[in-house]
């Protein structure tokens, strides 16, 4: 296109130049030629300055049976959580943290970052009230997606929180109550109140059909997005049978797929087994885990759910186990879910959050490296066998100067050399299985020292 335009302009100006020479002696041709040169320079110079940097070509991640596929080849994920990306993209002063984090993730060979695509009510809210959005914050989410694309990182975007942080289901219930349409003040009415279901569907529709102001691509058409996560850690404790949550999941997963058939979809479960599951007493951490209204197998078996999600927090689940006992339990927990997905669900499983608290009374920094390695090894062994263990995401990474956003699981990766090294090792192990090392220059450079 540029070559055709250049040829067209050249012929046109050559014609003008000849006319000038014929009719006006020497001065006019000199001035005419100079004008032509100036015009071409200004036109193409402006074109060059105003164009976006060339973006990497991306395809949508797909699922075939128990595996993810990208460009026809199996995909295994080593990634991380940085829930704060949108919040820190609102203010130009904090925006560089987002770019720095995505760049750092890419340099470690991490391919997926899980982050919040919600902030309901409160400070810098994306959704100010039902159906009312702050364009300034939406542009921040636009920036996150565009910046991730530039760094070759895909995003797992979560759409609402079960917890109160960043609004969550509590905020939706408050809105319904304030507008006089709420059926109950219970937080769990989020799942069964028709008005609140309508609020959430409107939110989903608005986000999925959003046209990015930077890239010009609707979110639902952007392969930078790895997948949508319906809700972070859904629980409906008012109905331990699980029927209420199951009904909501079936309706909302179908709704998402009616809008967006390009992207994969997961629920955002913690992975607990429900009251009718034979694993409720053999694999669940304790009895309480089967009373939360969720069930890993039943929920994940919904047709519109493309892959399953599981979290790993033995520090929260047990209060009387030592480190080695927790690590042994994590192995059992992960293998159980891989087995479920290999044999029954026939879908990939992603361990979308895992972490070890630094507030444990027996905590030693070296324990984190051992804990992370246990998880990485199980994913690697499953991937080598072409099993359903499709990847894991560390909770959570930050950059320097963000202590107030941290919790007892977060870390700055390059300040923990053992974790940094292990993370790159896992990225390279999975890349080798996928045959990426000898195909792509970046992988070869990252992993050559570790062969």
Instruction: Report the CATH number that the domain containing residue 101 is assigned in CATH.
Output: 3.20.20.80
Backbone Cα Rg of the chain? 26
Residues 410 and 284 in one domain: yes
Whether 200 is covered by a domain: the verdict is yes
Contact 79, 391 (CB under 8 A): yes
Q: Is 52 part of a structural domain of the chain? A: no
Task: Please report where in the chains the tokens 């087995």 appear, as a residue.
Answer: 339
8 A C-beta contact, residue 437 and residue 428: yes
| pLDDT tens series, the chain, 451 aa | 433 333 333 334 334 333 343 444 443 433 343 443 333 233 333 333 333 345 557 899 999 999 999 999 999 999 999 999 999 999 999 999 999 999 999 999 999 999 999 999 999 999 999 999 999 999 999 999 999 999 999 999 999 999 999 999 999 999 999 999 999 999 999 999 999 999 999 999 999 999 999 999 999 999 999 999 999 999 999 999 999 999 999 999 999 999 999 999 999 999 999 999 999 999 999 999 999 999 999 999 999 999 999 999 999 999 889 999 999 999 999 999 999 999 999 999 999 999 999 999 889 999 999 999 999 999 999 999 999 999 999 999 999 999 889 999 999 999 999 999 999 999 999 999 998 887 656 888 899 865 5
Write out the E strands in 182-256: 225-229
> Is there a domain that residue 1 lies in?
no
Domain count for the chain: 2
In this prediction the pTM is 0.87
Residues 26 and 99 in one domain: no
**Torsion sign (Cα): 162, 269, 60, 114:** positive
Catalytic site positions? 233, 353
In a domain, 12, yes or no: yes
- 251 in Cβ contact with 197 (< 8 Å): yes
Cβ neighbors of 68 (< 8 A, separation 6 or more) are 61, 62, 74, 75, 76, 77, 264, 307, 348, 390, 391
Q: Is 65 helix (H, G, I), strand (E, B) or coil?
A: coil
| Residue 189 domain flag | yes
Question: Which among 219, 194, 197, 175 has a CA at the least distance from the CA of 86?
Answer: 219
Q: What is the DSSP string of 314-326?
A: HHHH-SS--HHHH
- Residue 20, domain extent: 8-47
Grouping H, G, I as helix, E, B as strand and the rest as coil, residue 172 is helix
Statement to judge: residues 40 and 70 lie in one domain: no
């Amino acid at each position: 296109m540029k070559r055709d335009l250049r040829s067209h302009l050249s012929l046109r100006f050559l014609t003008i130049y000849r006319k000038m020479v014929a009719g006006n002696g020497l001065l006019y041709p000199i001035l005419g030629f100079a004008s032509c040169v100036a015009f071409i320079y200004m036109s193409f110079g402006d074109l060059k300055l105003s164009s976006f940097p060339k973006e990497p070509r991306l395809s949508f991640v797909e699922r075939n049976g128990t595996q993810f596929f990208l460009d026809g080849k199996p995909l295994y994920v080593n990634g991380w959580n940085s829930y704060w990306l949108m919040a820190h993209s609102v203010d130009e002063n904090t925006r560089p943290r987002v770019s720095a984090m995505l760049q750092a993730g890419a340099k470690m060979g991490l391919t997926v970052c899980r982050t919040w695509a919600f902030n309901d009510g409160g400070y810098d809210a994306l959704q100010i009230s039902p159906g009312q959005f702050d364009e300034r914050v939406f542009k921040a989410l636009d920036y996150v997606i565009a910046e991730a694309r530039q760094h070759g990182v895909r995003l797992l975007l979560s759409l609402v929180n079960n917890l109160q942080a960043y609004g969550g289901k509590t905020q939706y219930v408050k809105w319904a109550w304030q507008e006089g349409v709420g059926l109950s003040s219970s937080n769990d009415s989020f799942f069964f109140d028709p008005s609140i279901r309508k609020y959430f569907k409107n939110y989903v529709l608005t986000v999925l059909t959003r046209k990015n102001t930077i890239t010009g691509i609707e979110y639902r058409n952007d392969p930078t997005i790895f997948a949508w996560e319906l809700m972070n850690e859904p629980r409906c404790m008012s109905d331990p049978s699980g029927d209420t949550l199951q009904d909501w999941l079936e309706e909302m997963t179908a709704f998402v797929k009616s809008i967006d058939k390009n992207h994969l979809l997961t629920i955002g479960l913690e992975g607990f087994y429900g009251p009718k599951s034979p694993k409720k007493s053999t694999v669940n951490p304790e009895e309480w885990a089967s009373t939360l209204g969720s069930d890993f197998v039943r929920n994940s078996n919904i047709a519109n759910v493309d892959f399953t999600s599981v979290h790993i927090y033995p520090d929260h689940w047990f209060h009387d186990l030592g480190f080695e006992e927790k690590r042994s339990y994590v192995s059992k927990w992960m293998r159980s879910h891989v087995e479920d997905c290999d044999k029954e669900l026939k879908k990939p499983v992603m361990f979308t959050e895992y972490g070890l608290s630094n507030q444990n009374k027996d905590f030693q920094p070296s324990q984190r490296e051992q804990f992370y390695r246990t998880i990485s090894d199980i994913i690697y062994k499953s991937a080598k066998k072409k099993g359903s263990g499709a990847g894991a995401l560390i909770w959570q990474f930050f950059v320097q100067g963000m202590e107030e956003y941290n919790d007892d699981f977060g870390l700055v990766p390059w300040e923990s050399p053992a974790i940094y090294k292990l993370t790159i090792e896992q990225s390279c192990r999975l890349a080798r299985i996928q045959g990426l090392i000898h195909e792509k220059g970046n992988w070869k450079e990252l992993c050559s020292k570790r062969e």
